């Protein structure tokens, strides 16, 4: 049963450019402009009319955008919940200007070992994560540590939790790796690893969407009975100001927005593409977290009930639960 019929999330790619070269991501390989303020203002107004609640300013590295603070303020002024994930190379520079503008601020950290984390990210950013935690706390901010879980680093969760999260009262977000296109992400997560993640999700200040685990145990999305609601729950906007459908990672079309996102999204052309969500051949077995998380929130099924406790837990910890309703 469909619970929410309108999109609730916008993944707004402010640029594809990045100052890191993560081996499990290919976004940074794409040429890219930067989103301009005038265009973003119009889009944010239309997103509000469409019922969107959360704006994820993403990339690439979103802090490469020279007006990222202005973009965040535009979103906050319109009552959106804002979220942003950074590798922290630029956060110390931006911290003062970003204060109070990001509801869900995520610092990426995939290993407690400096060399291992830097190798994963393709750039020396480990020390910047530590500096960013110190800087954020001095400003009264409470960033989350987002840990991308691979088969090879699952045993390091405890050390990251004990060294970085517990002493600083920070939330640890466990982000199971997902495969897409030809990006090499290593071995699929084993049943033992998935069970370990479920156990971790019960700990204080740890967030894991338990529906992610359940979906992986079920073999991911199935095109004959899709759980994915990527295009109807999420609006994806590219740096070129195009609507990407049915999602970024498996998109088959990019439609110029031309200052009329509200009517474009509701057009027959777009809604035909929306209807293909989760049903394309490439959608078989998909577990992409970016789109499964909002998918679990808009339709009542077993994944909705699996996701609900962890979702409420996280939004309670962040103080954003009231804005969700």
Q: What is the pLDDT at residue 183?
A: 47
- Which pairs count as long-range contacts for 131-139, CB under 8 Å and 24+ apart, including other chains? 131/88, 131/91, 131/92, 132/86, 132/88, 132/91, 132/92, 132/95, 132/107, 133/107, 133/164, 133/168, 133/170, 135/91, 135/92, 135/95, 136/91, 136/95, 136/105, 136/107, 137/168, 139/95, 139/96, 139/99
pLDDT means over runs of 10, the chain (325 residues): 93 92 70 92 98 96 97 98 96 98 96 92 93 97 95 94 96 87 61 92 94 94 96 96 91 90 97 94 92 95 95 88 61
**pTM (2 decimals)?**
0.94
Closest by alpha carbon to 37, among 70, 60, 12? 70
Give the whole-angstrom CA distance, residue 88 versus residue 106.
9
Give the whole-angstrom CA distance, residue 180 versus residue 55.
23
Beginning with the edge strand found earlier in the chain, give each strand of the sheet holding 172-176 in spatial order: 206-207, 172-176, 144-149, 104-108, 81-86, 54-58, 9-13, 234-237, 242-245, 253-256
- What is the CA angle 156-170-9, rounded to 5? 95
Give the whole-angstrom CA distance, residue 233 versus residue 307.
15
CATH number of 9-324: 3.20.20.70
Give the whole-angstrom CA distance, residue 168 versus residue 137.
8
């Amino acid at each position: 049963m469909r619970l929410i019929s309108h999109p609730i999330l916008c993944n707004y790619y402010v640029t594809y450019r990045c100052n890191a070269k993560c081996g499990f991501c290919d976004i940074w390989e794409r040429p890219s402009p930067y989103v301009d303020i005038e265009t973003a203002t119009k889009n944010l107004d239309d997103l509000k009319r469409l019922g969107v609640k959360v704006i994820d300013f993403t990339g690439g590295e979103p802090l490469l955008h020279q007006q990222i603070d202005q973009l965040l303020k535009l979103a906050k002024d319109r009552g959106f919940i804002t979220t942003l994930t950074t590798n922290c190379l630029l956060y110390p520079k931006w911290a003062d200007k970003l204060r109070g503008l990001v509801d869900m601020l995520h610092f990426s950290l995939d290993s407690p070992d400096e060399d291992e984390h830097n190798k994963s990210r393709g750039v020396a950013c480990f020390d910047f994560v530590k500096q960013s935690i110190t800087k954020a706390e001095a400003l009264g901010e409470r960033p989350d540590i987002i840990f991308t879980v691979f088969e090879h680093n699952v045993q390091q969760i405890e050390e990251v939790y004990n060294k970085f999260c517990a002493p600083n009262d920070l939330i640890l977000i466990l982000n199971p790796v997902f495969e897409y296109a030809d990006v090499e992400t290593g071995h699929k997560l084993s049943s033992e690893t998935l069970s370990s993640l479920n156990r971790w999700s019960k700990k204080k200040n740890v967030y894991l969407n338990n529906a992610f685990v359940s979906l992986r145990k079920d073999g991911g999305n199935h095109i004959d009975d899709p759980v994915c609601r990527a295009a109807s729950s999420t609006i994806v906007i590219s740096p070129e100001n195009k609507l990407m459908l049915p999602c970024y990672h498996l998109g088959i079309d990019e439609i110029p927005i031309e200052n009329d996102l509200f009517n474009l999204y509701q057009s027959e052309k777009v809604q035909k593409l929306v209807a293909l969500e989760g049903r394309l051949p490439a959608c078989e077995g998909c577990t992409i977290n970016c789109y499964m998380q909002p998918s679990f929130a808009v339709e009542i099924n077993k994944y909705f009930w699996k996701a609900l406790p962890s979702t409420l837990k996280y939004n309670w910890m962040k103080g954003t639960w009231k804005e969700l309703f």
